[in-house]
Amino acid sequence: MRAGLRKMLAILDGTPTDAKGQSLVELTLTLPILLVMLMGLVEIGWYANNYLTLLDVVREAGRFGATRDPLEWPDGEELKRNRMDCDELAGYFNKFDTDNQTTWPGPSDLDNWGYIDGDERPFGYYDGVACSVIRNLSPLEFNDLTDDVVVSVFGYFLEGRGGPNPHVRVYGRYPARANECENDDQFDPFDFTHDGDGSDPNEDSSRFDASWDNIRGYVFRGNHRMDYGASKRCLGSEFSTAEVEAMLDFNGDPDRARKIQSVPNSGLVLVEIFWQHHQLFGLPWFNLGPVAQGQTIHVWTFFPVTAAEPDID
């Protein structure tokens, strides 16, 4: 027994022994583990690189939207397929001017959400922000069948400023014909008093809509869909108006009483990217989602846009 113990210690110390093929056995045992670790490191690096690229792209799009006026966008244009591309040539649905895509490249059921064909127009606010994402995405590629860009704009103000209980109120969410999801939002963002009729003098009655849009934000392709148990799924943004209002209101912040008094009346643009990540090696033990489908990376940013500041006392 002592001889066996001495031999084992000699092997562990690297002392030469008479054992044949020892290095080969050790390599056989350790090489698979080393390869798995190496491939895992590469896979994580690949994911992190794509994630950081998307963060840079979404921030650049937010800067684009911060310098323009969303209120110049004609209400309802966000529901026209020809405004959901990056081309100004009539009859084409292109991400780039050279594509010459004559048929709609995304989901075929968007008419169920109220989307229609329409005349091509010069770039406006929302398609301009979305196309900023597309043009800055390289070397990543945008897949018309799986990926999406969603743009929302909020006007908000501080109610009760200087009083004992000030709080932030979202006055409106644009685009006006695509701003709430049934069962996740409880009211139209332009319904200031939440009474369901939009008749209050402080409300923007021209943009109030009593029906549920089940579209939240301008969507570039309509691929991202959420199920809130309504009659149909909702397209677009992951953020409800109430969630954005709570973030602006510093809910849960221990220093809220001081911070809330400095909140200005202003506007925000929210840009979201939903991009399907695929593994580099496609190995099931590094599964970041179904191997065949990949995993959807969701990145988003808020930027101030003063043009959306509500005109309210």
pLDDT tens column, 86-98: 887 777 888 887 8
Q: What is the predicted pLDDT for the residue at 91?
A: 75
Longest dimension (CA), the chain: 96
Within a domain: 108: yes
Q: What is the predicted pLDDT for the residue at 313?
A: 59
261-273 per-position pLDDT tens digit? 888 899 999 999 9
> Is the distance from CB of 7 to CB of 15 less than 8 angstroms?
no
Task: Say how far apart CA 226 and CA 215 lie, in whole Å.
Answer: 10
* Residues 280-290, mean pLDDT to the nearest whole number: 65
74 DSSP assignment: P
Q: What is the predicted pLDDT for the residue at 9?
A: 61
Structure tokens at 73: 């966008």
> Which DSSP string corresponds to 110-152?
GGGGT-B-----S--HHHHHHHHHHHH-TTS---TTT-EEEEE
182-196 per-position pLDDT tens digit? 999 988 888 877 666
Identify the band that residue 26 occupies on the pLDDT scale cut at 50, 70 and 90: confident
Paired strand residues for 274: 148, 298
SS3 of residue 60 by DSSP: helix
pLDDT reading at 23 higher than 70: yes
pLDDT reading at 288 higher than 60: no
pLDDT reading at 233 higher than 70: yes
31-72 per-position pLDDT tens digit? 778 887 888 888 889 999 999 999 999 999 999 999 999 999
> Is the distance from CB of 129 to CB of 151 less than 8 angstroms?
yes
Structure tokens at 224: 């991202």
Within a domain: 159: yes
Within a domain: 254: yes
- Full residue range of the structural domain in which residue 107 is found: 42-308
**What proportion of the chain, given as a percentage, has pLDDT over 70?**
85
Within a domain: 182: yes
Q: What is the predicted pLDDT for the residue at 40?
A: 81
Within a domain: 280: yes
For the CA atoms of the chain, what is the radius of gyration? 27
pLDDT reading at 291 higher than 50: no
* Residues 216-242, mean pLDDT to the nearest whole number: 95
> Which DSSP string corresponds to 9-51?
HHHHHT---S-SSHHHHHHHHHHHHHHHHHHHHHHHHHHHHHH
Burial of 173 (0-12, 13-18, 19+ CB in 10 A): buried
**What proportion of the chain, given as a percentage, has pLDDT over 90?**
50
Paired strand residues for 167: 159
Within a domain: 50: yes
66-81 per-position pLDDT tens digit? 999 999 999 999 999 9
**For the packed helices 125-136 and 22-66, what is the interaxial angle rounded to 10 degrees?**
150
Q: What's the whole-number average pLDDT of the chain? A: 86
* Residues 166-178, mean pLDDT to the nearest whole number: 91
Within a domain: 30: no
Within a domain: 313: no
pLDDT reading at 166 higher than 70: yes
Q: What is the predicted pLDDT for the residue at 154?
A: 96
182 DSSP assignment: B
In the chain, the number of structural domains is 1
110-163 per-position pLDDT tens digit? 999 999 988 888 889 999 999 999 999 999 999 999 999 999 999 999 988 888
291 DSSP assignment: T
